[in-house]
């Protein structure tokens, strides 16, 4: 098990500059990380910066609130793919989920997946805002909508990934989707524990210090 193969090296700060995105990509290439994860406005620059490497490019959609219209999320996803993204990390509509509007939640995820075709779709649940029952439902709806991953957090909510949430998500997707732990993963021991729990990706801005 090589930790670098699990890391989505991430900079989603609103203050991120082009120079910082170029540095993020440079680090990802140096350490051989699985992917970088950036906001939509940086996709073209990141694609150019990753040229010639095996590092994948992930872009966030409906970030960080998830409360945009479905049409806006679909457009954003298509736009990111057109500019070179390999993977899409979308935020679920949390208000719809909490209001038991399951058909709308499922259809939104499915629509984005259809829009990006064979590109990977990771669905961010933002677990810190959800009850256990809501987390379970979110996982089931994501699987029904053909998402490739369920992901714990944006890193911008009131809490990040927890071992308990990952164990619950792993149980609920039952092998039909993969798991990404994100938010607050800052040391090697924590990262390894997540991998032992069955996580296949870790979103972190601390990638270099985790693998050094």
Catalytic positions: 89, 151, 180
Beta carbons within 8 Å of 123's beta carbon, 6+ residues apart? 90, 92, 109, 138, 142, 145, 147, 149, 150, 151
Q: Classify burial at 155, counting beta carbons within 10 Å of its beta carbon; exposed 0-12, middle 13-18, buried 19 or more.
A: buried
Q: Classify burial at 34, counting beta carbons within 10 Å of its beta carbon; exposed 0-12, middle 13-18, buried 19 or more.
A: buried
Q: What is the largest CA-CA distance in the chain?
A: 46
182: nearest Cα among 110, 127, 118 = 127
Beta carbons within 8 Å of 139's beta carbon, 6+ residues apart? 125, 150, 168, 169, 172, 173, 177
Q: Please tell me the distance from the alpha carbon of residue 185 to that of residue 172, in angstroms, as a whole number.
A: 22
Reported as half-sphere exposure (CB side, CA atoms, 13 A), residue 62 has a value of 30
């Amino acid at each position: 098990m090589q930790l670098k193969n699990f890391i989505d090296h991430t900079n989603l700060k609103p203050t991120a500059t082009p120079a910082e995105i170029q540095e993020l990509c440079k680090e990802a290439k140096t350490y051989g990380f699985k992917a970088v994860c950036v906001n939509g406005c940086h996709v073209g620059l990141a694609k150019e910066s990753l040229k010639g490497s095996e590092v994948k490019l992930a872009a966030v959609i409906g970030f960080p609130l998830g409360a945009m219209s479905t049409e806006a999320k679909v457009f954003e996803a298509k736009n990111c793919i057109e500019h070179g993204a390999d993977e899409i990390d979308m935020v679920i509509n949390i208000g719809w989920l909490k209001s038991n509007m399951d058909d709308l939640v499922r259809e939104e995820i499915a629509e984005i997946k259809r829009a990006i075709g064979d590109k990977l779709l990771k669905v961010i649940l933002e677990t810190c805002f959800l009850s256990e029952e809501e987390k379970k439902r979110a996982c089931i709806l994501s699987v029904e909508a053909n998402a490739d991953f369920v992901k714990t957090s944006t890193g911008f909510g009131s809490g990040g990934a927890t071992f308990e949430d990952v164990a619950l998500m792993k149980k609920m997707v039952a092998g039909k989707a993969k798991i990404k732990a994100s938010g607050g993963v800052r040391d090697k021991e924590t990262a390894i524990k997540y991998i032992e729990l069955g996580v296949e990706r870790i979103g972190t801005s601390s990638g270099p210090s985790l693998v050094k």
